Amino acid sequence: MQQEKQLQNMIRFAYGNVPYYHKLFKELGILPEDIRTLENLEKLPILTKDIIKANYEDFKPVNLSSMKYYKKATGGSTGTPFKFRFSKPDRFLSAAILYRGWSYGGYALGDKMVLLAGSALNIGTESSIIKNIHEVTRNLKKLSSFDMGVQDMENYTKIINSFNPRFLRGYASSIDFYAKYLDKSEQVKFDAVFTTAEKLYPHMRKNIENAFSCDVFDGYGLHDGGVTAFECQEHNGFHIDTERSIMEIVDGNRCQLEKGTGRIIATSLHNFAMPFIRYDTGDLGNVIDDVCGCGRESKLLKEVIGRQQEMLQTPEGKSVHGEFFTHIFWEVKGVREFQVIQRSMENLLIKIAADEDFDEKQLDTIRSIIKRRSERWNIDFKFVDQVERTKAGKYKFIVNEVGK
């Protein structure tokens, strides 16, 4: 199996060239030949961002100076941006896999596409010269989710109609927001829409499909861990890619699950500039053993349930997934956007960006539904013009600040 051969290659490299892994293997009393299969990965502990930050220098390969790599950082939605290295060959492979994922929705290399996103997709952070080069060479137009006012979106519509692209790709929340704007304005059509970077909720998918008269294809991927997965036309889940990384779904004991819900763990197979082995992505996923009707035999990730920090804690010690709150507000008339912030075990602040037809009497109903999860939660509401985006331009429904 090619994936296991590449795993063995990466393990040997990490042991021989990366101080952190050499020390780790010595402490565990194991050798590279002990990690030969995907199942053998269970012998290793889970790697976290905190571990990497605390041992950053030890993650530098001794032969780093001879490598070609990029310096990258996550968007910083959870605080200080997480910095890492990304080898050039790995980046080229990631691009090829991305194009293949788009092809599930009908994309062919060279087709016109519009991107609507923020810094996670390098929009709004690169120079105008680099941006123009990327747009011309890849037949793209890049629009920023940092700027989503009425005037901005009117301008975006003009750009799209002039450019006449076949596809739209971007943050799920940004595309959903733009789709809602178009409901009251001029219609724009695409052959397909590709969403990424955030959870695509069912009501968002329906809204986007209606606004743009096309299918929506969701995708999942991380630069730091290297894992990727894409929807096909069957929409039966995400096809997990195997060439660039290993994706594990593990339970609370760090044991691999063949099916069911657990933490998504990533092992990069080609990022020799900074190997990630059993890296905790911070995401929760549900893996299934179904065979997709499209004929592809890859394993299926049924859904990405959400970030672990989207879980809120009650004073009684229970966990409540953020999706509980999203279902409440989808049914409330006049709510344009919302955000639930947990600042302590006992206190929730709920920001609401409301339309004119919002009835404040609904707040009592919202409070009573939430209280069913915990009578000890104190719930405050704050009306805002718009929910503030993260530094990467993402819209977070749920923010858990407990323990930060």
Tell me the three state secondary structure of residue 356: coil
Minimum mean pLDDT range among 34-43, 123-132, 200-209: 123-132
Q: How many angstroms separate the CA atoms of 213 and 189, rounded?
A: 6
* Single-letter residue type at 175: I
DSSP 224: T
Which residues form the domain of 370?
A: 314-400
pLDDT band, residue 310 (cuts 50/70/90):
low
- Among 95, 122, 92, 123, residue whose Cα is nearest residue 107: 95
Q: What is the mean pLDDT of residues 29-39?
A: 96
pLDDT band, residue 243 (cuts 50/70/90):
very high
In a domain, 266, yes or no: yes
Q: What is the mean pLDDT of residues 44-65?
A: 95
Q: Is 273 found in the same domain as 173?
A: yes
- For position 76, what pLDDT does the model report? 44
Q: What is the mean pLDDT of residues 32-58?
A: 95
Q: Is 335 found in the same domain as 234?
A: no
Residue 74 has pLDDT above 80, yes or no: no
Count of residues in the chain: 404
In a domain, 274, yes or no: yes
Residue 81 has pLDDT above 90, yes or no: no
- For position 311, what pLDDT does the model report? 74
Q: What is the mean pLDDT of residues 285-313?
A: 85
Instruction: List residues bridging with 85 in a β-sheet.
Output: 71
In a domain, 220, yes or no: yes
Q: What is the mean pLDDT of residues 393-398?
A: 78
Q: Is 257 found in the same domain as 187?
A: yes
- Give the chain's mean pLDDT: 89
Tell me the three state secondary structure of residue 379: strand
Residue 92 has pLDDT above 50, yes or no: yes
Q: Is 272 found in the same domain as 154?
A: yes
Q: Is 295 found in the same domain as 337?
A: no
333: CB partners within 8 A, 6+ apart: 357, 358, 359, 362
**Which CATH number do you get for residue 392?**
3.30.300.30
In a domain, 46, yes or no: no
H-run or E-run covering 279:
strand 279-288
Single residue among 287, 308, 329 that ends a domain in this structure: 308
- For position 368, what pLDDT does the model report? 94
Read off the pTM.
Answer: 0.80
Q: What is the mean pLDDT of residues 158-184?
A: 89
pLDDT band, residue 275 (cuts 50/70/90):
very high
58 versus 118: the higher-pLDDT residue is 58
Q: How many angstroms separate the CA atoms of 48 and 400, rounded?
A: 18
How many domains does the chain fold into? 2
- For position 215, what pLDDT does the model report? 97
Residue 79 has pLDDT above 50, yes or no: no
Q: Is 327 found in the same domain as 264?
A: no
Q: Is 331 found in the same domain as 382?
A: yes
How far is residue 282 from each of residues 115, 222, 304, 306, measured CA to CA in Å?
25, 11, 11, 9
Residue 131 has pLDDT above 70, yes or no: no
In a domain, 67, yes or no: no
Q: Is 388 found in the same domain as 256?
A: no
Q: How many angstroms separate the CA atoms of 157 and 190, rounded?
A: 12
Q: Is 288 found in the same domain as 152?
A: yes
* Single-letter residue type at 110: G
- For position 312, what pLDDT does the model report? 85
Q: What is the mean pLDDT of residues 114-135?
A: 64
Phi, psi of 285 (to 5 degrees): -135, 160
